[in-house]
Structure 1
Amino acid sequence: MPEFSLPADAITAYAEQAGWISAQTVPALPETLSMPLRRRVALRASGELDPVIWRAQEADWTRWADTRYRACASTAPLGTGAQPIRVGVKDTVDVVGFSTGLGLRSHRHHARTSTPAIGGLPARLAAVTAKVTTTELNIGVGSNCVNPYVPHIDPGGSSTGTAVSVAANICDIALGTDVLGSVRWPAGQCGTVGLRMTHHPSLLTGAFPLSPPMDALGWVTRSAHDLAYLWPLLGLDRLGDQAAPVPAPYRIGVVANIDGPNGTCGPEMRSALETARGQLEAIGHGLTEVRIDDLWALRGPAWELCARQAWDAYQLWQRWMTTELHETTRIALEVGAKVDNERYTWILEQLTRCRRAADAAFTSEGVDIWLLPLDPVVPPDVATANARTSTIPSPRDADYDRRIAYTPIASFAGLPALTMPVARDGRGAPLCVQFVGRRGSEQLLIAVASSLESAIGDLGLQPS
């Protein structure tokens, strides 16, 4: 009787050859990755960090981590320069040398030029080592990524891979796009720090547009201190029209609208806000309550604007794409089809008015930035998130007031916003607050977040 390989033997042999891993196996980070980022940069500059060792350890970890967390659409090894800083870029943003897939199953194009924020990175310090996963066209449900710190918690979207790649230590900083929270949600749900930049059209060249008046670049790092360190080092402080921060202490307006009938803020998120508030007061920052009634009332219309502009864009770009869209993507687009021209015109008029008045709102209240929770409720678990039929809420939804959330405030006004974790709930999920500042106040937001991070201390978030 001839001998045949049994399925168990064949699969075991294939798994060994492919390097499959057990979900329960989490190797220790090599020293080159566990050391503070600032130290790694210094050691590479001095030559004390051997480039061959650095490249090998980085490649081994990326191979393991991407198998486990599925953060990357494609990767590239560190070159002969063995730059110390690894940069990830969302797969809706063009980078020369990588294909752009837009989160679609059967689309790719190859960019002729890189988006300006990436093209200007110092080549001796930083290299793009990954295009990172996104949802379909920024609006589909789910990305198949795994949240590195809390695998049972949804990693968020649409810049999912931006946050997951950083939390998994595949990248040290990653670029995404934030329309209504697309960087801030995954950053917050993955326990990292996410900064939406001021809306600046010139920075969006090479980024797939979803809602051009609200689209903005966004960055994710593992900590506020990493972001503060990398911001000038990589020349990110020269993007757009950023202002130098005013000296500390800062005047912080705590947004009181979360307590109103449409605030819908849950007890866990309210507690996280109070934690941040107490620590900021202890540091010496001045806190006062403020109301932002006009912007608060326009959170829902911000979603309508995004949906309508996505629908209008779909009528154009479908001629270039033959891929069949996921059902959740189609449902999201159809929300926009229901926004009629009269409503659309009114929303655009409100956006123009708010943009003109945004900075004056800080001046009238005598504050530098606003503070509020990232969301009304805690991050959803994976099962809850996967049950959603659309990422874009419809006014007909029973939980509409909760789903429009708090992130559209910065988006509609075109303002920068930074989110960071300040506590964890009973499931281990990170609970985040966000700071919103005037146009061009990115460096001020980073400074405030860094001071709060020092006061909060280590939350014990580690890849698992």
Structure 2
Amino acid sequence: MSAPHELTLAEASGLIAARKLSPVELLEDCISRIEALDPRINAFVRQTSEEARIAAKEAETEIARTGPRSPLHGIPVGIKDIIDLAGHPTTCHSRLRLDHHAERDAAVVARLRKAGAVFPGKLATHEFAIGGPAFDLPFPPARNPWNPAHHPGGSSSGSGAAIAARMIPAALGTDTGGSVRHPASHCGIVGLKPTYELVPREGVFPLAFSLDHVGPLTRTTRDAALMMNIMAAGREDYTRHLNDGLRGLRIGFVRHFHERDQPAHPEMAAAIEAASALMENEGATVSNLILPPLGEFSSVNRVILVAEAAVVHEDWLRNRPEDYAGVTRRRLLPGLFLPAVDLMHAARHRTRLIAAVENAFRDVDLLLTASSMDPAALIDDIAEVERTYPRQARTPFNVTGHPAVTLMAGLSSGGLPLSIQLVAPLFAEALLLRAAHGFERAAPWKDMAPPLHG
């Protein structure tokens, strides 16, 4: 058997159910992995090992007596540190929240806990899920396991890094302009942004109320489906049609996002084209599809985001601005000076953009787009991080609320992950995961892992 930390969620779950692996063994191996690698990766801001050990032992005893409650019973799941975990601070990676104490679990954490998940720690984020990577905060920024000199993507940076480094099999992240899918893109894993409000946001520190989503980061699409079965409270079984494949699906390829609107790095563009060809080889019909320009989605997202974030941060911005990281302060302050007329124009245009995407699904089942336009930048090259950070096609689907998943699509010549994005109609996560699994199953890089050694 592989070392427990190398197992996917589904693999570990199957072995636990078959009494061939105990939750205690799995957790201890993950803790050893964290202790060996996290000094280089900085994925965790707080380890809760002793509490997790108690939960794992309880899971072991219960499973031996009555069997697992769910496929997540005894599985370690990391929590992005803007999501409440009862009894622990939710710092949001900020000195402004170091004294915070969560009295109860966030709603999504409560669902995972009820399913038997074990929580080994809180994971790094960009400050308040907007300011980063930054080096003037109480905690260092997370780094990319494929090359720790590079950015792991954000803002769910610790979640992406921890999964890719095989520290834990699954994690929670949040996504307001792409913050689950960005680290998935840069770390070579699966990041799913569900339909808006499918997963509850109670107990999650807000960035922008009408754009925020909570989603899973995992190694595989099957693992994402297992997480969603719990996170969406049994709305449907997202694993049921996973093996149906791509045959017969109509996919609209939004090429202009990465060809004209924001021309992608040549290696990223080639990976997206290769992904399209692979999907056709697997039986999908791929045709070009035109949406409004990427810049329109990005502008609407930015206006709404900074306005809604200003509501959350107004008091701190006026009274404690020096306590933010410089990059966080620069990104939040414009919201205090945004004319109301600009917000109203953005809100009106948002309805047109939603309609445009909805209309696209009259003719196709799914959309294929770029996720990131570039491989991960060097984390300490501030200018390059700032240049590449907004070069992405994830933001449109925060504006519209449609479910989207990012998948690995190869490696760059520098050994960094390349990626694609698939998008589905509202509440069609099962279809989205079916297509993603069909792609993943046929892809030659599905078993690739970062060259990290403990």
TM-score, structure 1 as length reference:
0.82
| 1:415 and 2:421 are equivalent in the alignment | no
Runs of 5+ unmatched residues, structure 2: 61-72, 134-139
Equivalent residue, structure 1, for 2:149: 152
The amino acid across from 1:210 in the alignment is: L
Q: Deviations over 1:194-235 (max 9, x none)?
A: 011111187111111111111111210012233234443x45
Give the structure 2 partner of residue 8 of structure 1: none
Q: How far did 1:429 drift? A: 0.8
> Which amino acid is 1:443 matched to?
A
Once residues 243 and 415 of structure 1 are traced to their aligned partners in structure 2, the CA distance between those partners, rounded to angstroms, is 19
Partner of residue 238, structure 1: 234
Structure possessing the higher radius of gyration over alpha carbons: 1
Correspondent of 1:131 among 108, 122, 125:
122
Residue 62 of structure 1, CA deviation = 2.4
Give the deviation of 1:110 after TM superposition.
Answer: 2.0
1:446 aligns with 2:433: yes
Question: Matched residue of 1:403: which SS?
Answer: coil
Indicate how the Cα distance of structure 1 residues 330 and 240 shifts in structure 2: closer, same or farther if over 3 A, else same.
farther
Contact 2:189 2:219 in 1 (8 A): yes
Equivalent residue letter for 1:40 = A
Equivalent position to 1:203, from 196, 200, 205: 200
Determine whether 1:431 maps to 2:418: yes
1:226-265 pair list within 5 angstroms: 226-232=223-229, 234=230, 236=232, 238=234, 248-258=247-257, 261-265=260-264
User: Any residues of structure 2 matched to 1:57-456 within 5 Å, and which?
Assistant: 57-77=29-49, 78-79=53-54, 80=57, 81-82=59-60, 83-107=73-97, 108-121=99-112, 123=114, 125-142=116-133, 144-200=141-197, 203-232=200-229, 234=230, 236=232, 238=234, 248-258=247-257, 261-293=260-292, 297-316=296-315, 324-355=323-354, 358-363=357-362, 366-384=363-381, 386-387=382-383, 403=390, 405-456=392-443
**What are the ranges of 5 or more consecutive residues in structure 1 without an aligned counterpart?**
1-28, 392-398
Is 1:199–1:216's contact at 8 Å kept on the other side of the alignment? yes
CA separation of 1:89/1:116 partners in 2, compared to 1, >3 Å: closer, same or farther? Answer: same
CA distance in 2 between counterparts of 1:387 and 1:36 reads 36
What is the match of residue 68 of structure 2? none
Distance 1:189 1:261, change over 3 A: closer
Amino acid at match of 2:101: H
Amino acid of the residue matched to residue 131 of structure 1? K
Higher deviation after alignment, 132-141 or 248-257: 248-257
Matched, 1:47 2:19: yes
Contact kept in structure 2, 1:362 and 1:369, CA below 8 Å: yes
CA drift of 1:374 comes to 0.7
Aligned residue for 2:421, secondary structure, equals strand
CA distance in 2, matches of 1:51, 1:103: 29
Amino acid at match of 2:147: V
- The separation in 1 between residues aligned to 2:200 and 2:27, in whole angstroms, is 31
SS, match of residue 128 in structure 2: helix
TM-aligned CA deviation for residue 461 of structure 1: 2.3
Q: Which amino acid aligns with 2:128?
A: L
Percent same amino acid at aligned positions?
26
Distance 1:206 1:34 in 2: 31
Q: Please tell me whether the aligned partners of residues 272 and 373 of structure 1 are also in contact (alpha carbons under 8 angstroms).
A: no
CA separation in 2, counterparts of 1:164 and 1:194? Answer: 12
Contact preservation (8 Å) 1:166, 1:173? yes
Counterpart CA distance in 2 for 1:322 and 1:308 is 17
Q: Indicate if the aligned counterparts of 1:195 and 1:219 stay in contact, CA closer than 8 A.
A: yes
* RMSD (Å), alpha carbons: 3.0
SS in 1 for 2:95: coil
Count of residue correspondences? 423
